[in-house]
Chains A and B, each alone.
Chain A
């Protein structure tokens, strides 16, 4: 079964507004979480990560929030720009597995100019 889920396959947001992408997981052993961004015909590129010892990590316009009790993380992009239009994947990895990643199915974000 999918251990990492992104329940919204698509999201449209107006330029300048906030984009919120959500991700849920089931495995309590996950202790490191990542977000990847993928453009068509390219491989995913790493965007931002968060360790389970934190509940927030910020990098410029991108902020990832982690709610361990709810097994939920979210990626906030503010302000959203047209260049942010892409598919976003969340991923999680348990401790001591040597980078064995579990990916969500992705959310396609469209930022409308």
Chain B
């Protein structure tokens, strides 16, 4: 069945380095993907909408120069956390709308980022 994968599932990096997280749709194409960040009490904050072939749309308060999003193909979106700092440590999740049923989505399993 169609799923969304994320790579890596865990990443630990030093402060000041950049980290790339990949989100792939398997067996279906996604012109749009969404990136979320998980906060305490388990809420998910929508960070940005990734659009294939065009610039991502960022939510208010999300630094576009810090969280670089590239949707290079119909099955791959990447989120790069640039010059990561400990406060960027979090759980990042991507999702893609279900083909034909855009109200519902496939979620990736998430990536745990720890910045030392």
Contacts and interface: CB of A to CB of B under 8 A. Distances in A.
A89 interface: yes
B9 A100 contact: yes
Most buried by B among A45, A46, A105, A107: A105
A100 B103 CA distance: 23
Interface string A1-44: 11000100110000000000000000000000010100001111
Interface in B25-80: 36, 38, 41-46
A106 B46 contact: no
Interface of B is mostly: strand
A9 B110 contact: no
Contacts of B107: 89, 91, 101-103
B91 A106 contact: no
A36 B104 contact: no
A103 B95 CA distance: 10
- Which range holds the interface residue count of chain B? 20 to 34
B109 A100 contact: yes
Interface string B86-110: 0000010101001001011111011
B103 A9 contact: yes
A100 to B, nearest CB: 5
A85 B109 CA distance: 26
Most buried by B among A6, A44, A98, A99: A44
Interface residues of A, number: 27
Contact of B46 (A43, A49, A107): A43
Given A87-B104, A106-B105, A108-B103, A46 B42 contact: yes
A98 B112 contact: yes
B41 A46 contact: yes
A98 B3 contact: no
Interface string A81-110: 000000101010000001111110111100
B101 A98 contact: no
A101 B9 CA distance: 11
Given A42-B46, A43-B46, 18 more contacts: A1-B3, A2-B1, A2-B3, A2-B106, A6-B104, A9-B101, A9-B104, A36-B44, A41-B46, A43-B36, A87-B105, A98-B10, A99-B91, A99-B112, A100-B109, A102-B107, A103-B105, A106-B105
